[in-house]
Amino acid sequence: IQNSKVKLLEFRVMDEEEQEQGKQDDHGSGRASSTVVVTRALVRIELNVVWKPRLNWVWGVKFVLDPNTNRVKRHEESWEVSAWEGVRQL
């Protein structure tokens, strides 16, 4: 990688019940709800090869925090680019 740039597109903090709104009717179950942090960023890199390809994609990360320890209990990543589109950018 010769150059890189990351631009934050989204940063949201919500509770897990709010994040799953509409998926279930069980509200107020009495247990502590996990905190969910959702981020999306535009990643741009230039590879250090002769033709200097530039790759761009949106990278998302969702962290679910344990309500008792505030530690990450689940980490999910997503990329808003298909495998073909990634190869095509080369």
For 3, 46, 50, the CA distances from 42, given in Å and listed in that order, are 14, 14, 24
Name the residue type at position 56: N
Q: What is the pLDDT of residue 60?
A: 97
- For the segment 25-65, what is each residue's pLDDT rounded down to a tens digit? 555 556 678 999 999 999 999 999 999 999 999 999 999 99
As given in the structure block, the two tokens for residue 49 are 């090869």
- For the segment 14-34, what is each residue's pLDDT rounded down to a tens digit? 988 777 764 555 555 566 789
Cβ–Cβ < 8 Å for 60, 79: yes
Q: Is the pLDDT of residue 77 over 90?
A: yes
